[in-house]
Amino acid sequence: MKKFKWLFILLAMMLCMTAFAACGAPEDPPVAEVPAEPGYTAEAPGEGPASASDITSVGGVPLVTLNNGVQMPRFGLGTQIQELESGDLGILNQTARESVTAALQAGYRHLDSAHGYMNERGVGQGIVDSGVPREEIWLTSKLWPSEYDNAYEAIDDMLERFQTDYLDLVYLHHPAGSISDIESAWRDLERAYREGKIRALGISNFDNRMEAFNAIMDEEIKPQIMQIECHPFAQRIEARELAERYNIQVECWYPLGHADQRLLNSDTLEAIASAHGKSVVQVIICWHIQEGFSVIPGSTNPDHIRENIDIFDFELTDEEMAQIRAMDEGENGRFFNINYDGFMGNYFVNNPPREWNGEFTN
């Protein structure tokens, strides 16, 4: 049964999506209860292994200064390979390893992984294979909700899987489970941050559960980054305003709509792409950058990986930006809108990611 677990998660998510589509858009997101802190600055990360970090701009990728003074490249590789998650974890990790090596060799210096993607070992091995020094790379991972009640140990396990002694960014992946477990996980992240094991802290998908969002905003160190679904069909205006109120950088997942064909074949985007001699995907990534997002398009195809970073030699005009903004379908344009108070919330807490302890072959 175990090997069908991730397939089951995907099916359950698809059911949620269908239910969401049938019910239409949800009500307006509730407003945060905690007073906003515009211009919020967080204490800097403590001295520790992470002090070795040496991030610079490579390949024209802009850096953003986060609310704790740390600089992050605003473009990176998304490493989730959903179609392999229910299969052989050795193949999954080998695929992640190869795409990470291709990306680092193409100039990428930001990698987005997660325990839930079951690929951290592959990502870590890809870094080693690439020959790029660890300190020059922004490495992100995410704690899974089943780990929230003992997050401090889970961070050490994560470091071991990546073969590294620090992470640049760790998210709480989903606002699932009890608020007290979420708060306890956040305090463990704060501890690791103060010990110089993590350079920035993030919340992922917390825009879907304001109770959890507000709880984190009450903590001593507020997040530097918030990861949300965001692409031209779902431009997430309310969630972006929420982030801005707390001086939090937004990072977009599904930035290409997970290769949704209606998006990639849009007439508007095709016309803009041909005006610049670029591909539709390049135009979408350029739009993300010009909107101020951090963006992590996923790919396992080395040609696509190189194409996606080749965007820093052109700019979209104000009119083109306006045309893409007009593609926003609001909440209806989202592909996932999980209700964490329901079945999925409990499911995430009770189902840890599968572990792979095999050996890589060359």
Residues that bind ligand NAP (CB under 6 A): 78-80, 112, 204-205, 227, 253-259, 281, 296-301, 304, 307-308
Residue 143 pairs in a beta bridge with 172
Instruction: Report the alpha-carbon distance of residue 43 to residue 320 in Å, rounded.
Output: 39
For the bound state, the minimum distance from the C-beta of residue 304 to ligand NAP, rounded and expressed in Å, comes to 4
Instruction: Report the alpha-carbon distance of residue 304 to residue 297 in Å, rounded.
Output: 10
* Minimum CB distance to ligand NAP smaller for 143 or for 159: 143
339 in Cβ contact with 131 (< 8 Å): no
* Minimum CB distance to ligand NAP smaller for 51 or for 265: 265
Catalytic residues: 117
Instruction: Report the alpha-carbon distance of residue 109 to residue 100 in Å, rounded.
Output: 10
Q: For residue 37, give Cα distances in angstroms to 186, 195, 218.
A: 19, 25, 11
* Minimum CB distance to ligand NAP smaller for 220 or for 329: 329
Instruction: Report the alpha-carbon distance of residue 200 to residue 138 in Å, rounded.
Output: 10
150 in Cβ contact with 178 (< 8 Å): no
For the bound state, the minimum distance from the C-beta of residue 37 to ligand NAP, rounded and expressed in Å, comes to 24
Query: 69-102 in b/e burial notation, b at 16+ Cβ within 10 A?
Result: ebbbbbbbbbbbbeebbbeebbebbbbbbbbbbb
* Minimum CB distance to ligand NAP smaller for 68 or for 79: 79
DSSP letter string, 109-165: -EEE--GGGT-HHHHHHHHHHH---GGGSEEEEEE-GGGGGGHHHHHHHHHHHHT-S
Instruction: Report the alpha-carbon distance of residue 175 to residue 2 in Å, rounded.
Output: 24
For the bound state, the minimum distance from the C-beta of residue 325 to ligand NAP, rounded and expressed in Å, comes to 18
* Minimum CB distance to ligand NAP smaller for 67 or for 308: 308
For the bound state, the minimum distance from the C-beta of residue 61 to ligand NAP, rounded and expressed in Å, comes to 16
For the bound state, the minimum distance from the C-beta of residue 93 to ligand NAP, rounded and expressed in Å, comes to 15
For the bound state, the minimum distance from the C-beta of residue 83 to ligand NAP, rounded and expressed in Å, comes to 8
Instruction: Report the alpha-carbon distance of residue 78 to residue 128 in Å, rounded.
Output: 18
Measured at CB, which residue is nearest to ligand NAP? 298
* Minimum CB distance to ligand NAP smaller for 146 or for 196: 146
